[in-house]
Amino acid sequence: MNQTPDAPHEHHFGFSTEQVHAGYLGEAGHGARITPIYLSAGFVFDDFEQARARFAGTDLGYVYSRINNPSNAAVEKALAELEHGVGATLTGSGQAAATVALLSVLKAGDHMLSAPSIYEGTRALFRGNFARFGIEVEFVEHPNDPDDWHRRVRENTRLFFGEAIPNPKNDLIDVEAIATAAHEHGLPFAIDATVATPYLLRPIDYGADIVFHSTSKFLAGHGSSIGGVVIDAGRFDWAAHPDKFPHLHQPIVDDADGDGATWIDKFGAKANFAFARAAIAGRFGTSLSPFNAFLLQQGIETLSLRLDRHTRNALAVASWLEQQPEVSNVDYAGLPSNPYHALAQKYYPTGAGSVFAFTLSGGQDAARVFYDSVEVFTRMTHIGDVRSLILHPPTTTHSKLSAAERDRAGIHPGLLRLSVGIEDVDDLIADLDRAFRVLRGENPPPLRSTGPGGGFTPAEGL
C-alpha cells in the first residue's frame, strides 16, 4: 500500500543541539564519531585524471592541507551553520581572520570605515600594515549614529567594519543600523564578533555580510590554542558592483588555458567566500593546523553551556563591583545602569558576554595593588577562557596609545579588565573582596591554604 508521508514539518534545532551535531561529515574509514585529527600535509590522488580534476575543482576531494583538510572542514561546516552563513574558513589566529576577511574586499587605493572601539591588534594592523598596502582606514566617532558613517563615505570607500562587543569598555555597536547604512551605499559590513560568539549574537541575522572571530577565545574556551574563522553570509550582491569589486569580475584562471569564468560566474553569491578562501587565505597561507581545529571542535560542543555560566557570573560580579566604594565605574552592558543596556537588551537577551572593565578611583596605584592581590583570577592577556582573567589595559594592551587617546576612549589609569570565567561565582567574589581588603590596608589571609593538605608536590609521589 502506498503511503504518502505527512506534510513536511520543519523543525528547527536549538543551538545546543546544533553545536554538538553541526558539521559532522561522517568518517569513512572506521566510523569514528569524532572527526579525527588528519595531520597529513597532502592527500593521495588515485590517478592522473583525479589529480587533474582536483586541481580543476571538478573533483572536490582533498588536495593539500593549506587549502583544505577534513579536520578543518568539519569545524568550518559547524561554524558556518552556527552563524547562519554559507561558508567558513579557519585561519591560524584571529589576526589572520581579520586579515583574510578584510583583504578579500580591500586593495591598494581603497578606503574603509571602522567603528572606533576595536581590538588593539586590529588597530595596529590598520595603522601599520594596511597603511603600507595603501589602504586607508578612517574611524567614525559616533558608530551608532548612521549619519556619521554616511557623511564619511567617499568614492573609494569599500567596506564598513565594527566589533560586536568591544572590550574593555563594552560600548556596543548597533549592528543592524550600521549594516543598513553600509548597504545604502552598496557596501558590505564586516564584523568581529569574537566576544559575542554565535551563541549570544548571530550578526548575519542583523545584516552583517562577513563575520570573523578569534576562536582562541570563547569558541575554543579552554585557552589551549590560537585560531580564527571567517564566515560569509552569502547575501551581499557583489555582482551588482563591478566598479567597486573588480577582482570578483575577473577570470579566476587568468591565462590562455582558462575558460574565462569569473568568480561571480562560478560562485554567484558565494563569490567573496570563494575568493577569500582560495585567493587570500590560500595564498597568504593563513591555514589553521588540523590539530588546533580538533581542539576547537571540542570547545564548540560546550559553547552554550559555558556561555550561560560566563554571562551569569559576569552579571553577578559586575553588580557586586558596582556596590564597592572604591569603584567609580563598571563597564558591563548587562547592568541596567549602563548606557549601552538598551542595545544589550536588543542584541544580547541571553547575556552581554563576560569581558568588561571596572575603574578604581585610586588610579594606577590602586590598580597595581589590586592586580597583585588576586589569587583566583589569573593575571594574563587573554579573554574567553574557562578561567577568570584580569589585565591592566593602560599599561599593556593599550599602552601604545597616547595618554590623550586612552583618556578619550575612557581607559583611565585605574581601569582593570576582567574576563569572567566559569568558576563558582562565590569564589570569584571572595577573591575580588580580598583584593579590596588589601587595597583598604587590611591584611587578609590567603583564600587557599598552601600548608599541609593544601597540595601535592611531585617529590611526595616518590
Ligand X SMILES: *Cc1c(COP(=O)(O)O)cnc(C)c1O
Nearest residue to 290 (alpha-carbon basis) of 40, 13, 29: 40
**Least distance between ligand X and beta carbon 162 (Å):** 11
The nearer residue to ligand X, 121 or 444, going by C-beta atoms, is 121
**Least distance between ligand X and beta carbon 228 (Å):** 5
Contacts of 98 (CB under 8 A, 6+ apart): 119, 121, 122, 125, 192, 212, 228
**Least distance between ligand X and beta carbon 289 (Å):** 13
Considering only 95, 104, 297, 304, the residue that binds ligand X (CB under 6 A) is 95
* Cis amide leading into 168 (omega within 30): yes
162 is a contact residue toward ligand X (CB under 6 A): no
Considering only 51, 53, 120, 121, the residue that binds ligand X (CB under 6 A) is 121
**Which range in 87-95, 182-190, 257-265, 340-348 contacts ligand X by CB under 6 A?**
87-95
91 is a contact residue toward ligand X (CB under 6 A): no
Binding marks (x or -) toward ligand X, 47..86, rule CB under 6 A?
Answer: ----------------------------------------
Count of residues in contact with ligand X, rule CB under 6 A: 16
The nearer residue to ligand X, 212 or 236, going by C-beta atoms, is 212
Nearest residue to 35 (alpha-carbon basis) of 296, 319, 379: 296
- For the chain, the maximum distance between any two Cα atoms, rounded to a whole number of angstroms, is 85
Q: Which residue has the cell 569514528?
A: 32
Considering only 88, 383, 409, 415, the residue that binds ligand X (CB under 6 A) is 383
H or E element in which residue 214 lies: strand 210-214
Query: What distance in Å separates the CA atoms of residue 65 and residue 70, rounded to the nearest whole number?
Result: 9
Considering only 192, 331, 385, 431, the residue that binds ligand X (CB under 6 A) is 192
Query: What distance in Å separates the CA atoms of residue 423 and residue 431, rounded to the nearest whole number?
Result: 11
Query: What distance in Å separates the CA atoms of residue 343 and residue 332, rounded to the nearest whole number?
Result: 12
Name which of residues 274 to 313 contact ligand X (CB under 6 A). none
Residue type at 453 in one-letter notation: G
3-state secondary structure of 410: coil
H or E element in which residue 379 lies: strand 378-379
Name which of residues 209 to 228 contact ligand X (CB under 6 A). 214, 216-217, 226, 228
Site residues (vs ligand X, CB under 6 A): 93-95, 119, 121-122, 163, 192, 194-195, 214, 216-217, 226, 228, 383
